[in-house]
A and B are shown apart, each in its own frame.
Chain A
Amino acid sequence: MVKNRYFEILIFLSLGIVFFLVFIVYPVMFSAGLSFFDWSGYSRNPFENFIGFDNFMRMAGDSTFWVSLKNTFIFVSGLILFQNFFGLLIAIFLFYGKLKGGAIWRSVFFFPAVLSPIIIGLVWKRIFLADGLLNTIILFFTQNYEPIHWLGNLSTPIFAVMFVTIWQYTGYNMILYFAGLQGISNELIESAKIDGANWLQTVTKIVIPQLYKVISLAVILNIIGGFKVFDLIYTMTSGGPAHASEVLTSYIYFQSFSITGTNRMGYASLMAMVLTIIVLIFSIIRIRIEKRIE
């Protein structure tokens, strides 16, 4: 069935190639170019006002950029750590727990991941208010506590949004791990039990090494998803207060299309390219690590 018929091949590929060139390749090159220009988005020709490396200099001296970069890394690290920990924990619990109800629980834990982040953001925004559900619950357990607005100060908002993201997408990791667990042979687990291993040893010595491929996939998906996070930040804090919870995506939006922002399309393009390069570097590192393990 394998042939060399370029005309037919081209027909099958053509739509995909056209879409890919127009909506992915062309924009990436456009953005790379625009990084050297100043454009407000209103004038007809974006490539009129060449400013050399001015955007790069601006970025180096822009403390908000560095805050958003730092927040992005905190955010992504948190996702990798907690989504995989809890995802694996719940998957093992549901797979080996022999619970009544079976697959229903898997669907329940996964359900938040299919909802719009805007809904999730709205709901949690209310929960995090000073008179919100979270503080009400804390006050229920201890009176010795001054309620805070979790999204309204300079230190907790990024962690609050991180928590919500983990809350929404841990089910996604759980599904991946659940599928991975189905691929581990029962004999392996049984023989470990016969050798006298307790469940913790079984998990760390048998299950996790068998899952390394799935773990690697889950981590890369969390990295890609984490760097791209926007909807939840935008709904819950819009990067505020005073840019304290800004991540790269939200800061790029602020610098480009936000009504309250600055309409610096060239500068936003540069930061978008930086973000792309970071994602690519992490993806390459991940492929490298996987090759080394193999």
Chain B
Amino acid sequence: MGKKFFLGFSKYTALGIMLLIVGIPLIWIISIGFRVESEVLDILPTQFTTINYPKMMIEFNSWGGLSFARMFGNSFLVTAVSLIGILMISSLVAFAFSNYKFKFKEPLFILFLLGMLIPAQVLLIPLFFLMKNLNLMGTYFTLILPYMAFNFPLGVLLLRSFFEKIPIEIKEAAKIDGASDFRVFMRIILPLSRPALATLTIVSFMAVWNEFLFALVFIRDDSMQTIPLILNRMGFTRWGVDYGVYGSFITITIIPVLIIFLIFQRWFIAGLSAGAVKG
């Protein structure tokens, strides 16, 4: 009994310490947004205030360079269009790999996967040149097209293995009824693959929503900035001036991610685990 109690006690102490290390920075930043100016750097604040939130909304235009709604709109637009593209390209390609036999199939597959290894820095300068020559500078396509290209290979990897697990009998039955391959793909494969598509959506969402380097290089127009750009700009110019206001801003940008994470966490974990189990 005594030993068991001690084991249980030390177990939860260890958990507590780990939670503190993970939690303190996050709790600290969120609490900053609710502090009065004189207490932002204290360990434990004594007063609670929500004044920073309206203050931030009023001041946002002047230091963000665009309206609050526009910033969220930019991030949503770029992310939504990129996700549609990623899902479309990777499911089509994965279907080709799972449904047909052709020459150079496996080498081509490995080539796609090698795409995931290439550091963005290699692609930045050439794509800058390309976007300029295609007259795409100043449009959202400078972000959307590369995001689609960089994130679909992971989708091919995830979806191919899922498509291959769908029993052949289901596809054969549809074929006997005279369905074309494309119809089989649209009507049978895709609806049956909802879990894998959900996983891919979530993993890609995080990659695109948080993407910073391409946005930093390609977005020259203040009104087109995405959330990471504003956060970065704030870090260089305003962070340190008024912590309360910026703490509240950071908290607001965390909220959508937190909501999506809470709703879809099992797909996150499923996606990562799928990779782990497959090796």
Contact = CB atoms under 8 A, between A and B. Distances in A.
Interface of A: 1-6, 8-9, 12-13, 15-16, 19-20, 22-24, 26-28, 30-31, 34, 41, 46, 90, 93, 97, 99, 105-112, 114-127, 131, 133, 136, 140, 167, 171-172, 175-180, 182-183, 213-214, 216-218, 224, 227-228, 230-231, 234-235, 248-249, 252-253, 256-257, 265, 268-269, 271-273, 275-276, 279-280, 283
Contacts of A183: 277
A131 B41 contact: yes
Contacts of A1: 99, 168, 171-172, 175
Interface in B23-50: 23-26, 28-29, 41, 43
A110 B267 CA distance: 13
Contacts of B231: 116, 118-119, 122
Given A114-B261, A122-B235, A253-B121, 12 more contacts: A9-B96, A16-B156, A27-B130, A107-B261, A125-B235, A126-B243, A127-B28, A136-B43, A167-B21, A216-B279, A272-B124, A276-B119
Contacts of A180: 276-277
Interface string B119-152: 1111111111110000000000000011011101
B25 A30 contact: no
A13 B117 contact: no
Contacts, number: 263
A115 B232 contact: no
A6 B277 contact: no
B11 interface: yes
Contact of B118 (A15, A24, A46, A257): A24
B101 A3 contact: yes
Contact of A23 (B18, B146, B168, B239): B146
Interface residues of B, number: 94
